């Protein structure tokens, strides 16, 4: 699945996670070439949402409030 990507797998509770470290909330991480992992903060018990975007669909805007918004380019 992630052949060619430079990742270090992690194993916990019998599950193997191909991407051991997660991006910070509001940050973007490049996984395989052309795919970006967005970890977007939420304001309730479910504290974040993981989103995957392909190259050409990502535009990052920083607002005055310090919250980043992601939209189609």
Is the model's pTM score more than 0.75? no
Which of 24, 25, 61, 27 lies closest to 42, judged by CA?
25
* CA distances in angstroms from 38 to 5, 45, 46, 47, listed in the order given: 17, 19, 15, 14
CB-based contact 66:38 (threshold 8 Å): no
pLDDT, tens only, 5-61 = 555 666 767 777 777 788 888 888 888 888 888 888 888 888 888 888 887 665 555
Q: How many residues appear in the chain? A: 73
| SS3 category, 12 | strand
Paired tokens of 58: 């990502």
């Amino acid at each position: 699945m992630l052949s060619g990507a430079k990742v270090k797998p992690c194993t916990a509770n019998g599950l193997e996670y191909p991407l051991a470290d997660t991006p910070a909330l509001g940050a973007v991480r490049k996984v395989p070439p052309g795919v970006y992992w967005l970890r977007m903060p939420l304001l309730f018990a479910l504290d974040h949402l993981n989103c995957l975007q392909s190259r050409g669909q990502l535009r990052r805007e920083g607002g005055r409030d310090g919250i980043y918004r992601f939209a189609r380019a």
